Amino acid sequence: MRSAAAAYPAGDEVLIRIEDLWRDFVMRSGTIHALAGVSLDIRRGRTLALVGESGSGKTTLGNQILGTDTPTSGRILFEGRDMPARRDTQMRRRIQVVQQSPYTTLNPKRTVRQILDLPLSIHDGGPRRQRRERIAELLEIVGIPSDFMERHPHSLSGGQRQRVALARALASKPDVIVLDEPTSSLDVSVQARILRLLVDLQARYGLTYLFITHDLSVVRNIADEVAVLYRGHVVEHGTTPELFRAPRHRYTTMLLSSIPVLSEEEEALKPAWDWDVTATAAEPPSTGTCPFLPRCPHAVASCSLGVPPRVATSPTNWHACCNPRPEGADADAR
Amino acid sequence: MMARRFQSRAWYRFSAEPMAVLGLVLLAAITLAAILAPFVTPFPEHASSFVDFRNMSQPPSASHWFGTDLVGRDVLTRVVYGYRISLTVGIVVLGLAVPLGVTLGMIAGYAGGRLGAVIMRITDVFLAIPALVLAMAVLGVLDRTLINGLIALAVLWWPWYTRMVYNQTRAIRNEGYVVAAQVVGASHSWVLFGEILPNLVPSILTKFTLDLGFVILVASALSFLGLGVEPPTPDLGSMVAEGAGYLPDMWWMPVFPGLAILLVVLAFNLVGDGLRSMFGDGM
Amino acid sequence: MSTDPVFSIENLHLRIRQFEGEAHILNGVNLHLRAGERVALVGESGCGKSSTAMMSLGLMEARSMRAEGRIILDGTDLLSLRRRGWQGVRGRQISMIFQDPGAALNPVFTVGDQLVTAIRRGNPSKSRSDAQGLATDGLRQVHINDPERVMSSYPFQLSGGLNQRVLITMALINRPKVVVADEPGSALDVTVQEQTLRLMTELCADVDAAVLLISHNLGVVRRFAQRIYVMYSGTIVEEADTATLFSAPRHPYTKALLAAVPRLTGERLPEPIPGRVPDYTDPPVGCRFRPRCPHQRSECVDPPFAEPAPGHRVRCVL
Amino acid sequence: DEHAIGEIDPAKATDYADSILFYNLYDTLVIPEAGGTEILPHLAESWSIDGTTYTFTLRDDVRFLSGEVMEAEDVVFSLERMIALGQGFSSLFGGVIESVEAPDPQTVAITLSGPYAPFLGSLVRLAVVDKDTVMANLEDGDYGEMGDYGQAFLSTTSAGTGAYSIDSHDPQNLTVMAKNDEYFLGVPEAAPDIVRLQYSIEPATLRALITRGELDIGDQWMAPEIKAAVAATDGVGLGTEAGISSFYLKLNNQRAPLDDVHCRRAFAHAFDYESILELTQITDDIAFGRPAHGPLPLGLLGADEGIPTGRFDLDAARAELDLCQYDAGDFQIQLNWVAGNPIQERIQLMMQLNLGQLGFDTTITTTPWAMFTELASSAERTPHVSPVNFILTTPDPDSMLYTMYHSDAAGTWASVDWVMSDEVDRMIEAGRTETDPEARAQIYRELGQKLVEDQVSIFAYELVGVFPIRDVVHVPALQEAGQTYSVQGMNFMFREMQMQ
Amino acid sequence: MVLFGVSILIFGIARLIPGDPARIALGPMASNEQVEAMRDRLLLNEPITVQYLNFIKNLVQGDLGTSLYTRRPVTEDILSTLPATFELVLAAALIMTVVGVPLGILAARYRHSGLDIAANLLALLGVVTPSFVWGIFLMLLFAFHLDILPIAGRLSRDAVLPPQITGLLLVDSALAGMWATFWDALRHITLPATALAMGGLGTAARLTRANMSEVYGRQYIQLARAFGYTEREIAYRYALRPAMVPTLTILGLDFAIMLGNAFLVEKVFAWPGMARYGVEVIIRKDLNGIVGTILVISAFFLIINMIIDIIVAYMNPRILYQNQ
Ligand SMILES: Nc1ncnc2c1ncn2[C@@H]1O[C@H](COP(=O)(O)OP(=O)(O)OP(=O)(O)O)[C@@H](O)[C@H]1O
Ligand SMILES: Nc1ncnc2c1ncn2[C@@H]1O[C@H](COP(=O)(O)OP(=O)(O)OP(=O)(O)O)[C@@H](O)[C@H]1O
Ligand SMILES: [Mg+2]
Ligand SMILES: [Mg+2]
């Protein structure tokens, strides 16, 4: 596995750079900062996993990159150039998406062929005959028999639908695919197949993935880097092995320790967390403090002074925690 | 093969509702009778200008099953011919109202923002006036001809589609496949008509079927108020209205056309309900 | 292992008529729970876990269904109960925790209202204020520090985690002998799910209720259960205590399932299981896993239960 | 469809219901003789005519509801008010009066601008209102110091000398009137104490109410079938009002092809007179139609029994059509009927059938009364054939002929034939200025012949008002021979009715 | 706000009506000068914007102008007929809810039983039969054939009128303790109200059934069952409230249909309500009358819907709390 590379070689090209991105939703009940100053790099040919609990802003961030939503402020640079709010066809071609729900990602009223034909016809897939061949080819790539071409989505299983969605994303020969929880509603057995396919495709086409998920075991196996999102803030970021080996932010720690695992061996890899089961009432919105403050049992005075600054722990990893989990605490893990 | 299977599954669901099948049979019978009226009615000449004062106001009998009216015309014949008008009215009215309402609803739902708000406010205004009253007002403006009656009904019908389609479009707008089409770079019109519209078809079709019945109902109500088509064209609502003046002595005059309206509306409703359960969505 | 089971399902079959034909959804399910025991039922989506749960509480609803077998709770066969009989059982002797706390609570009544009604259903002699007190205590037990506020809130005003706790409270408040928990907390974040499992472990011990945990997540099952049933396509294919199941699985399906889970060690990608879950209207004869099994052979038609070790039962000829 | 509303302001009264209210709430200077056309004294004891000046001597024993004595001032006020408001029948007076004076309380002198024979008859449309009471109840309005001329006041109550007074009035539904015991002629004991006038009831309802005894008298517009059914009920009879109205199928003389007399004659021959008269038969001896001899109903001054009734003859019609400059096939003939008049619909259906046999393409339209009056204002929009009932509004034939056929009166519902003939105009004017009754009658007979000759309309039948009446009331004007007044509404003077 | 839009719309329609309201108002005998004078008085010769502004100005003062049809202030005309319509519609709404909703509940509770089928059939008949046909059927049966209920009107002719308080005869007579009148009014309103209610009743029953069925599919109903609630409790306490929320909202819209149908039913039963006035003013191009009638009906409809919204908010705490 490529992810074995602990640190990326110097000069690993940044394909997408996100700088201080904010996205506010103004609601009757107040303003929600779905993204609160996110800065991240996505490297060409790599997989960046975006993890975090529900509502932390993962999909919102994905949407900014896809251009289906516009940020309130901040910049997104693609190959070093500012991405315009209104994307041109060329830009659209280069960034594609696979969504979470296999049930809504395909238009139930169109056949597999029609679904795959759309990106081809937009991005100059040639005359009809040629497009048809290309569709067959795409189906073969994702492992769907070509006689499924005239089928409607309802006659496909969840896994097959996700494959078709993947084929659709591949159709325009993109550079980047945003994978928004592509396997979370699939059975483990099907998930395993999709994950293999993803890894395979990445190797074949040099794809760059933004892999959004809340399943950390999957992240461990597929991502090169991980960004942990909490309430619109990236609280920790780094290469996968290092982050899993030594999580520093308290939220990351909590997240990792809650992973249900299958063996003692894995159990030993999880950091310890003191599960205080007392539930607090709805968390008050925290602006101007560490976003995790209301739930953090390790809070110290400085946590409430402001959004904690980034602290680099290695050339590749950093966190934003005032009272991080000590470096050598792995041994405590039980 | 899968398509066949789907069709037969749809039919299975539809036919699991015996009432829906009954409705379909009824509808087929009514439509056929209306189309073949010159051949199936006993006195086709009674549908146009005809008087026979010697035979007027006869109660139902073997030769006139539904009796005769005040100028001696066969009520059964006129009821069957009345269906011609009713069905035409239903189809034409919705033929005008549905495309308009659907287009506006899709645009409002998809565009959202100010444009959507403006469209929906206008829709609200139309919806705030009871339909029948609005139609009457419109008919007050226009001359009382069949065409204008159709326009009046279309005017009051489109907002319902706008509203339904608006809500559904808003729900669908964020569905995965719509987003995916946008991401792929599809144009707005493609997204609207290629991705969203096909998914609205089942509910539009269902509502269309139900509404065909209701348009007929409202149209008959308008004729009942004296705002319908001109004689001697047989029109069910006017027949009821006219007959109502002769109760109870000439009960057959309003009762049979009344039953006829009921029957056709019922048929459309049964079929509409069947479609609804076939498409299996709570609308 | 000597105590008699408080709850057992014996050779349960469930058939439902559909367009495609008759679906044989449960195909001879056998399982039992001893008092206070934490047992899990795992399997892929659609293998019949929820159907088993629903049958256990008599909640299965289908237009034309046929059930055979026995479901015995404390000596009574629940399958033979009529509506009246069920009302005495549900909520008092057996209760349920649902997957999605948001959907399982009625949105137009306050949480307190729903708790109090549940209490008084199980215990009609209780006065309203008694029930209220009981509910408050119950909420405290699930570590809610401001039960009064929670009681007067509507479900949509509370977080998923809090609602999940309310559901747990409700399930246990009448001290039932058996609790069926269908994927509790799986709709919520992993951290909340972890907390939910901890709470359930703690409370079931307090109340001495046997729990049947239903899940598709092997990790969750391992965290919680003492004993595990693995289900495939309406049949129990393997039964073992937790440690045995994970260290020495015998059924090829169990093994395949374990291999399909991504590991935290991250040494390799998980292994997919070939093939698809079979169709219920036309399932393979005998062992339903046979078409997907790497070890399939001719004897696989109707394999008996083998018991390689005490308490470890496998429905496979291997 | 159409519903009348009750108008109780006498200066605004127009239709039948208004007229009923008018003659019960108010009185006029003169009154026509029952069963004839003679003008008799009423509020005016006597009068003298000197050229164009009419001098009336008023009774001195008449009191208004307010208790005030009716005097010449009131008459002057009433006339001025009517002319100023310009509504109702004001056109009867508007152009012809030069001055009105009240030299003393008992005397009114009216000077006309020229000789005007129908004047005395017109006065049955001038109700005398109580000046002082009205003046005391003026509200702001467009009439300077007269404010609203008492319009608001008189639309809610009455201020007359009538035999009845307003108890309650809802113009859309119901007017309740109570007997005025102070009435100057006295109101007989047998006359009803309370009268309830209900407007716009659906025919079926009306029928039910009468048969159940909840209503005593029905209107004349119920369909014959219903009247027959009602008449067959125990305790209900029929009353008739003959000789004051006629029914025409008016042909638009200005609109091709009916601007050609031959085409008009063809139409007239396409009308099936006998069948329609048969249709008017309600019981064996009562019909609501009788053969028409020209434009005027028999009994009226100048009516001429010598004018033959129309003849249904399609061959004759075809012959006329051959003479006509137009081809039948070139036209879309518009046959109209006024909503709520089922008989008109039947007649038009019959016309459609027969005209169809002559090769005419026809459409039938239904128009509510209000719309019809609107259509009537222009010759282009007036339908080819419009059925019209004309009921006399004064006892003088001029009110009928002038209104229907004089060019100056064109543009109303009554003149939808659009005759526009100088010769006809001259004859009508001659009739107006001729004061000798016999000479007038001769003029009208000639006019009648000319109108028939020109076939300006189809003179369908003489309308006989047929009213269902419960046996509990006796209505002499409708139920006794020779007692009918020749003015609409007058036959419903409740003081003459007797409760049994 | 919506009412404002309605006023513009209706005003526009009313002014579009061809024909000359002045002539129609003045009656058949009017001369051209009189018509012209009237046109000036009615501002008919002014541009439409001036007419509209003038109309709004008067409207704010509660003045809808003078009806050309009755020659009385429109406000007065409407006030004299509105109570009758109001009473009829309210009675029908009452029948619709009191009969329709329980019918739907029963049907949902005993789904696929004979009761369900019967209820469904009745509901369907209610929905598909025009209200005037219902009126005629009911009239034929109960008034003519069985002769147990009166045919037309609000009261018998010899009934004593109660003192006018609300204008609703049932309420007024009950308040005044005039039970004979009350009984008479009740007998009169029964048939028209039933005829008017049938459509809404059908919709109410069908909607209730559909929404109840939907709620029955929700997990919280399973939860209630799992906690031993009786089916009765579930139907009337647990499922009804959430089911009523969407039902009520749609029934509010149905109110519009009912207001329209009131015109028909009033015609059949000679009910002295706004219908006749409404039809007449339209036929007679009585601008003020048309605008006034439609405005009042729309306002009536909007008020009813506002009330329903409030009820819905109380039934559905989610809305209640969102608005706070
Ligand atoms: N269109 C929107 N309008 C208002 N608020 C929104 C909108 N979209 C997202 N949000 C809010 O922004 C926050 C982040 O949402 P987002 O969908 O990005 O979360 P997520 O991490 O993808 O969650 P999940 O795991 O549930 O998909 C949430 O609080 C959500 O309520
Ligand atoms: N009421 C029903 N009518 C028809 N089929 C049903 C019904 N309930 C369940 N099934 C079918 O029975 C099979 C088993 O369903 P069940 O819900 O028990 O599976 P599960 O193991 O709980 O799956 P999941 O993990 O997805 O919840 C499925 O194929 C399902 O489609
Ligand atoms: Mg998301
Ligand atoms: Mg399940």
What does the block give as tokens for E161? 């009128």
HEC sequence for C213-253? EEECCHHHHHHHCCEEEEEECCEEEEEEEHHHHHHCCCCHH
CA nearest to A218 within chain C: C262
| Cβ of residue E13 closer than 8 Å to a chain B Cβ | yes
C54 CA from centroid of ligand 4 (Å): 9
Higher pLDDT, C63 or D100: D100
Q: Tell whether C122 is covered by a domain.
A: no
C238 CA from centroid of ligand 3 (Å): 36
Domains within chain E, CATH numbers bracketed: 2-60 (no CATH), 82-274 (1.10.3720.10)
With a CB cutoff of 8 Å and minimum separation 6, the contacts of D388 are D247, D248, D249, D250, D413, D414, D416
Q: What share of chain C has pLDDT > 90, as a percent?
A: 34
Q: Express each pLDDT in E229-259 by its tens digit.
A: 888 888 888 888 888 888 888 888 777 788 8
- Report the distance separating Cα D22 and Cα D127, nearest Å: 8
Q: Tell whether B1 is covered by a domain.
A: no
C50 CA from centroid of ligand 2 (Å): 6
- Report the distance separating Cα E250 and Cα E227, nearest Å: 32
The one-letter amino acid at B235:
D
The answer on pLDDT for A1 being more than 50 is no
| pLDDT, chain A, mean | 86
C248 CA from centroid of ligand 2 (Å): 29
Residue B220's pLDDT band, with cuts at 50, 70 and 90, is: confident
The answer on pLDDT for C229 being more than 90 is yes
Q: Tell me which residues have their CB closer than 6 angstroms to ligand 2.
A: C 16, 18, 23, 25, 43, 45-51, 62, 216, 280
Region A275-291: what's the mean pLDDT?
A: 68
State residue B147's pLDDT score.
Answer: 78
Q: What residues are paired with D307 via a beta bridge? A: none
Q: Total domain count for chain C?
A: 1
CA nearest to D84 within chain E: E34
State residue D431's pLDDT score.
Answer: 93
Among A189-193, C167-171, D82-86, E66-70, whose mean pLDDT is lowest?
A: E66-70
| Cβ of residue C83 closer than 8 Å to a chain E Cβ | yes
CATH at residue B123: 1.10.3720.10
Would the CB of A59 count as within 6 Å of ligand 1? yes
Q: Tell whether C87 is covered by a domain.
A: yes
Letter string b/e over residues C134-168, b meaning 16 or more CB atoms within 10 A of that residue's CB: bbbebbebbbbeebebbbebbbebbbbbbbbbbbb
Biggest CA-to-CA distance, chain B: 76
- Ligand 1 atom nearest to A27, measured from its CA: 4
Residue A334's pLDDT band, with cuts at 50, 70 and 90, is: very low
Would the CB of A58 count as within 6 Å of ligand 1? yes
Which ligand has the shortest distance to the CA of A55?
1
Q: Total domain count for chain B?
A: 1
Radius of gyration of chain A (CA): 21
Q: For residue D351, give the nearest of D366, D369, D364, D368 by alpha carbon.
A: D364
With a CB cutoff of 8 Å and minimum separation 6, the contacts of D299 are D36, D37, D242, D243, D486
State residue B144's pLDDT score.
Answer: 64
Cα distance from N-terminal residue to C-terminal residue, chain A:
28
State residue E25's pLDDT score.
Answer: 62
Higher pLDDT, A42 or D220: A42
Q: Express each pLDDT in A147-176 by its tens digit.
A: 888 888 888 888 899 999 999 999 989 999
CATH code for the part of the protein at A14-245: 3.40.50.300
The answer on pLDDT for B135 being more than 50 is yes
Using CB atoms within 10 Å of the CB of residue D449, give its burial: 0 to 12 exposed, 13 to 18 middle, 19+ buried.
middle
C58 CA to chain B: closest CA distance, Å? 26
What does the block give as tokens for D56? 């009336």
Region B270-280: what's the mean pLDDT?
A: 81
- Report the distance separating Cα B65 and Cα B61, nearest Å: 5
State residue C308's pLDDT score.
Answer: 85
Q: Express each pLDDT in B64-123 by its tens digit.
A: 889 888 888 899 999 999 999 889 888 999 999 999 999 999 999 998 888 988 998 888
Q: Tell whether B49 is covered by a domain.
A: no
Q: Tell whether B50 is covered by a domain.
A: no
State residue B5's pLDDT score.
Answer: 55
Q: Express each pLDDT in C177-187 by its tens digit.
A: 999 999 887 77
Would the CB of A25 count as within 6 Å of ligand 1? yes
Q: What share of chain B has pLDDT > 70, as a percent?
A: 92
State residue D4's pLDDT score.
Answer: 61
Among A112-121, E234-243, E278-287, whose mean pLDDT is lowest?
A: E278-287
State residue B215's pLDDT score.
Answer: 87
Region E131-159: what's the mean pLDDT?
A: 84
The answer on pLDDT for A331 being more than 50 is no
State residue E23's pLDDT score.
Answer: 63
- Ligand 1 atom nearest to A53, measured from its CA: 25
State residue D350's pLDDT score.
Answer: 92
Give nearest CA residue, ligand 1 atom 29.
A55
CATH at residue C186: 3.40.50.300
Residue C1's pLDDT band, with cuts at 50, 70 and 90, is: very low
Q: Express each pLDDT in C258-285 by its tens digit.
A: 999 999 887 788 898 888 788 888 888 7
Q: Where are the domains of chain A?
A: 14-245, 271-334
Q: Express each pLDDT in E172-221 by its tens digit.
A: 888 888 888 899 999 999 999 999 999 889 988 988 988 888 888 888 88
Edge-to-edge order in the sheet of strand A95-98 = A95-98, A176-180, A208-213, A47-51, A225-230, A233-239, A318-319, A311-312
Edge-to-edge order in the sheet of strand A30-43 = A30-43, A14-27, A73-78, A81-82
Q: Tell whether B7 is covered by a domain.
A: no
Q: HSE-up of A185 (CA within 13 Å, CB side)?
A: 14
Q: Express each pLDDT in D87-122 by its tens digit.
A: 888 888 878 899 999 999 999 999 999 889 999 999
Q: What residues are paired with A318 via a beta bridge? A: A237, A312
Please report where in the chains the tokens 């809500």 appear, as a residue. Answer: B167
Higher pLDDT, C3 or D101: D101
Higher pLDDT, B167 or D340: B167
Region E155-173: what's the mean pLDDT?
A: 80
Higher pLDDT, D307 or E63: D307
Contact D370 E285 (CB under 8 A): yes
Q: Express each pLDDT in B12-66 by its tens digit.
A: 777 777 888 889 999 999 999 999 988 888 888 888 778 888 888 888 888 888 9
State residue A282's pLDDT score.
Answer: 53
Domain that holds residue B252: 16-43+64-280
Region C67-76: what's the mean pLDDT?
A: 90
Residue B283's pLDDT band, with cuts at 50, 70 and 90, is: very low
A225-230 and A47-51 beta bridge pairing? parallel
| Cβ of residue B251 closer than 8 Å to a chain E Cβ | yes
Peptide bond into B232 cis (omega under 30): yes
- Ligand 2 atom nearest to C99, measured from its CA: 27
Helix (H) or strand (E) holding C114: helix C111-122
Q: Are B90 and B212 a contacting pair, CB within 8 Å?
A: yes
Q: Are C269 and A183 a contacting pair, CB within 8 Å?
A: no
Q: Closest to C98 (Cβ–Cβ): which among E219, E245, E315?
A: E219
Contacts of D362 in chain B (CB under 8 A): 49
Residue B8's pLDDT band, with cuts at 50, 70 and 90, is: low
State residue A7's pLDDT score.
Answer: 44
Q: What residues are paired with C95 via a beta bridge? A: C179
Model ipTM value: 0.79
Q: Tell whether B57 is covered by a domain.
A: no
- In the predicted model, residues of chain D with pLDDT beneath 70 are 1-4
- Report the distance separating Cα E226 and Cα E240, nearest Å: 18
HEC sequence for chain E? CHHHHHHHHHHHHHHHCCCCHHHHHHCCCCCHHHHHHHHHHCCCCCCHHHHHHHHHHHHHCCCCCECCCCCCEHHHHHHHHHHHHHHHHHHHHHHHHHHHHHHHHHHHHCCCCHHHHHHHHHHHHHHHCCHHHHHHHHHHHHHHHCCCCCCCCCCCCCCCCCCCCCCCHHHHHHHCCCHHHHHHHHHHHHHHHHHHHHHHHHHHHHHHHHHHHHHHCCHHHHHHHHCCCCHHHHHHHHHHHHHHHHHHHHHHHHHHHHHHHHHHHHHHCCCCCHHHHHHHHHHCCCHHHHHHHHHHHHHHHHHHHHHHHHHHHHHCHHHHHHHC
State residue A4's pLDDT score.
Answer: 36
Q: For residue D10, give the nearest of D31, D130, D19, D161 by alpha carbon.
A: D19
pTM as predicted = 0.81
Q: Are A189 and C237 a contacting pair, CB within 8 Å?
A: no
What does the block give as tokens for D338? 């006024």
Q: For residue C180, give the nearest of C58, C68, C297 by alpha carbon.
A: C58
State residue E4's pLDDT score.
Answer: 73
Interface D–E counts its CB contacts (< 8 A) at: 90
The answer on pLDDT for A39 being more than 90 is yes
Q: Tell whether C261 is covered by a domain.
A: yes
Cα C119–chain centre separation:
22
What does the block give as tokens for D115? 């000789």
Region C212-216: what's the mean pLDDT?
A: 93
C99 CA from centroid of ligand 4 (Å): 9
Query: What stretches of D310-448 adopt beta strand conformation (E)?
Result: 332-338, 361-367, 385-391
State residue A280's pLDDT score.
Answer: 58
With a CB cutoff of 8 Å and minimum separation 6, the contacts of B269 are B23, B210, B213, E124, E127, E128
The answer on pLDDT for E15 being more than 70 is no
Which residues, by Cβ under 5 Å, contact ligand 4, an ion?
A: C 50
Q: Are C108 and E315 a contacting pair, CB within 8 Å?
A: yes
Among A201-215, D190-204, E43-57, whose mean pLDDT is lowest?
A: E43-57
- Report the distance separating Cα D356 and Cα E105, nearest Å: 59
The answer on pLDDT for E24 being more than 70 is no
